[in-house]
Amino acid sequence: MTTRTNRGRRGALWIRKAASVTGTVAVTFLGLLIVTFLIGRVVPVDPVLSVVGDRATQAQYDAAYRALGLDKPLVEQFWIWLLKVFQGDFGNSFLTTRPIAVDIARVFPATLELATVSIVIGTVIGIPMGVWAAVNQGRWIDHVVRVVGLIGYSAPVFWLGLMGLLLLYFKLDLVSGPGRVDITYEYDFTPKTGLFLIDTAMQGAWGAFGNVVSHIILPASLLGYLSLAYISRMTRSFMLNELSQEYITTARVKGVPEWRIIWVQAMRNAAVPLVTVIALSYANLLEGSVLTETVFAWPGLGLYLTNSLQNADMNAVLGGTLVIGAIFVGLNMVSDLLYTLLDARTRKR
């Protein structure tokens, strides 16, 4: 009977937690929609001129103005736009003339692939660096890790990208240049998923696979370095907090091997908040790689937004901004749920 009661309580706690997270996400997303809509209305770009051009007559201008629904009250405009957004309709791009949802579906896999490789690099290297820095607090290893992180925070990303291309591509010819794949390999495989690493590997196009790796390694390493700086610093902070706890002292008194104390006991507890750090770093890579994609001519969402902004294609800019915001909100929700799942203390509340 007691077991059933406990299970019922835990189930109720999970339901309340899920409801709370869902409510928070809904309110946040509504706020994102409102802000995005208002930005589209206050920017100094006339959407009518983007459609009809600056040589249109007044009659043509007025007809396009009414066709776009700009003659309606602002609240009604927002409601119409909201209904379209929930149907996946962000309007058409003035630049490509295609539906913006189609454009985003075409370019987003490139950003997803770049961000995923980058976060893997940043996590695999950044966590051990942070742990070593915490274990060797005040020693030379700690200082080196902190300096590496400081450079990652301070150096402009576009400058690092340009220097990387100048040295590794132009001077040493160790990596391929801008773009995702050389034109000589474009027809060696069929882009089914849009993730070239997976497409080339699944189809056995190993020559194209090597070329894709050669293209992605530099921008992914650059973005991975930026996330590494943040992940290593936060890992160091979490580990220092855990290593100062009484259970660590008790384990050492009992003669538990040092590697087990660090990598099993301390790291297990530090991993709980670290999940949130990694999730937010991944979200930042998905929405903050605009400069990197521009420098490397990477045909992803960042480059798409840059070209749209330069051509005053505000429909595309707002659609891309909304997608990025939704991704950020979604990853925040996932990190909150993972935090609850991993941390026994929050499950008991």
Any idea which of 11-15, 62-66, 246-250 has the lowest mean pLDDT?
11-15
Task: Tell me which H or E stretch contains 8.
Answer: helix 2-42
Q: CA 254, CA 273: separation in Å to the nearest integer?
A: 27
Give the Å distances, CA to CA, from 103 to 51, 121, 198, 283, 306: 18, 28, 21, 20, 14
Residue 348 φ/ψ, nearest 5 degrees: -85, -10
Burial 296-333 (b: 16+ CB within 10 A, else e): bebbbbbbbbbbbbeebbbbbbbbbbbbbbbbbbebbb
Amino acid at 93: S
pLDDT in tens, 282-293: 888 886 577 888
Give the Å distances, CA to CA, from 47 to 78, 160, 301, 310, 320: 16, 36, 21, 14, 17
Q: What confidence score (pLDDT) does residue 18 get? A: 67
Instruction: Write down how long the chain is.
Output: 349
pLDDT-derived band at 324, boundaries 50, 70, 90 = confident
Any idea which of 56-60, 166-170, 230-234 has the lowest mean pLDDT?
56-60
If one looks up domain 101-347 in CATH, what number appears? 1.10.3720.10
Q: What confidence score (pLDDT) does residue 288 get? A: 57
Mean pLDDT of 196-221: 93
User: Dmax of the chain from CA atoms?
Assistant: 87
Q: What confidence score (pLDDT) does residue 273 get? A: 86
- Which residue's entry shows tokens 């297990």? 268
Q: Where are the domains of the chain?
A: 24-87, 101-347
pLDDT-derived band at 35, boundaries 50, 70, 90 = confident
Q: What confidence score (pLDDT) does residue 212 get? A: 94
Any idea which of 50-64, 171-185, 206-220, 224-238 has the lowest mean pLDDT?
50-64
Q: CA 316, CA 103: separation in Å to the nearest integer?
A: 9
| Average pLDDT, rounded, for the chain | 83
Q: 151, 160 in Cβ contact below 8 A?
A: no
pTM for this predicted structure: 0.84
Mean pLDDT of 226-242: 91
pLDDT-derived band at 23, boundaries 50, 70, 90 = confident
Q: What confidence score (pLDDT) does residue 54 get? A: 72
pLDDT-derived band at 9, boundaries 50, 70, 90 = low
Q: CA 225, CA 218: separation in Å to the nearest integer?
A: 10
Amino acid at 190: T
Q: Which one, of 299, 301, 317, 319, lies nearest residue 309 by Cα? A: 317
DSSP state of 92: B
Q: CA 271, CA 257: separation in Å to the nearest integer?
A: 20
Mean pLDDT of 30-48: 76
Q: What confidence score (pLDDT) does residue 133 get? A: 92
Residue 88 φ/ψ, nearest 5 degrees: 80, 20
pLDDT reading at 257 higher than 70: yes
Query: In terms of pLDDT, which residue wins out, 214 or 45?
Result: 214
Q: CA 242, CA 272: separation in Å to the nearest integer?
A: 12
Q: What confidence score (pLDDT) does residue 125 get? A: 94
Q: CA 307, CA 293: separation in Å to the nearest integer?
A: 11
Query: In terms of pLDDT, which residue wins out, 274 or 53?
Result: 274
